[in-house]
Structures are given as C-alpha cells and as structure tokens.
Amino acid sequence: MLSKSQIRFITSLHHKKYRQEHQCFIVEGIKSVMEFVQSSYAVRAVYSIAELAPKMDKIPQKIKFSVVSDVDMQRISAQKTPQGLLAIVAMPDADPLTPEALAGNHTLVLDDVQDPGNLGTIIRTAEWFGFRRLVCSANTADAYNPKVVQASMGSLARLEVHYTDIEHLLARTALPVYGALLNGEPIYEVSWAREGIVLLGNEGNGIRENLLPRIDHAVTIPRVGQAESLNVAVSAALFCSELVRSKGAWK
C-alpha cells in the first residue's frame, strides 16, 4: 500500500511545476515503461498492479519495483483508465543547444505548439523517420506532460527534445530555414539542402510574425480539398516524409 506522501509526490508530477522542481516525470503502460527502462534515462521506480507483476522480470534489480493495489494505481495514474504500470523517470541533463549541433542534419523546430497530443505524435513521427532531436520554443507544450509521453509511445526515450529561444537560435544559424506557411513553394517541388531547419507553427496562429524574417524558404502543403486547415502533427509527418524521400534515406 502506498503512503499518503508517496501518492502526493507521484500525483504532483502530473503538473509541470512539480516535474521541474523534482526533475522527474511519469511514464505509463508496459510498452512505454519498458522503452525507458531499456534507454539511457534513469528510471527511479516502477509501480505495478499484481496482475502485471509476473511480466516485469526484465526490469533490472537496481530499479525500485513495487506492487500496488488497483485503487492506489487509480490514485497515482494520470489516465482515466490506468494501464496498471507506472514509472518515475528522471529528466535528462539538458546540454546547451548550439547552432553547430544542428549542422549536418535536418531539424524540426516547433513554434508554440500547444496541444500535448500533437507534440507526442510529432515526437513519435520524428523518431519513425530517423530524426535525432526536436527543438521547441519555450511556450511549446511540455515534453514530459503525461499526455505527451503517452502519445509519443516510447519514442521520447530515444529522441532529444530541447527547449530554447528559437528566435535567438534562428538568428545565429547559417543553416537554411524552411517555414511551413500557407503561401509558399509546394512541398513536393522543394529542392531541399542536405541540412537545415524546418519550422512549424502554432495550431491556430501559425508561425509568429517576428520569426518570419528568419525564414529562407516558405513551404506549403498544397490544399486539394476544402478543409480549412491541416493538423500540425500531420504537417510534421509530411515534412519528415519529404525530407527522407529527398535524401533516399530509406534505401
């Protein structure tokens, strides 16, 4: 049985303020928890309901493992329907992000993407297409929000996510910047450089005006039908796919 202080600590991690204070976050579900257990992240503790405990033999002994009641799992879970397995994971040390670190690759940069589900899906998509890192503005959703972690389906365990002043970053980089805008060159006709930055904007407002002068190539995903807009996670997937296609990276 979990103590009141344990429950209070774990549930506090549902909130960004306390995640930052304790430098920890929660991961739920067998697949996602095992992805982090097998990653470079430091897993502090794993909590399991009795039904799943026999399947947890691959968790290293150095990780604190506890069996809890279904009631306690319901109390500590951030999900309406808990999956029965929850881990406390330490946030990684954030290395300073320099323009030089982005050289040689294409990097997705998110400007104030707000929806946790969108961010989690973008993380999962970027990892699928072989991206190594994602750069976010300070006002983008928190990558360690339980909803983001859940939507990333374990990809967060392998993809670097950096938060920075992207206006300052774009001002300092010599890499070409491709911005997702309504008026631009069709994505299917772009001649991509071998390295660069792909900038995606907020769900409702797009890319902030103060960043527009930093864009070297405006790129649009042509609208063929009548839909008013395209989800930012879907847009990210199309950009990732085109970049991989242009480099023949799947061969």
Domain ranges, ordered by start, for the chain: 4-90, 99-247
Per-residue pLDDT tens digits for 86-134 = 999 999 987 788 888 899 999 999 999 999 999 999 999 999 999 999 9
* Domain covering 4-90 in this structure, CATH number: 3.30.1330.30
Q: What is the pTM of this model?
A: 0.95
Per-residue pLDDT tens digits for 134-163 = 999 999 999 999 999 999 999 999 999 999
Tokens read off for 237: 């997937």
Range 99-247 has CATH code 3.30.710.10: no
Longest CA–CA separation in the chain, Å: 60
The candidate with the shortest Cα–Cα distance to 160, out of 94, 222, 99, 88, is 94
Encoded amino acid at 207, one letter: I
The secondary element (H helix, E strand) that includes residue 119 is helix 116-128
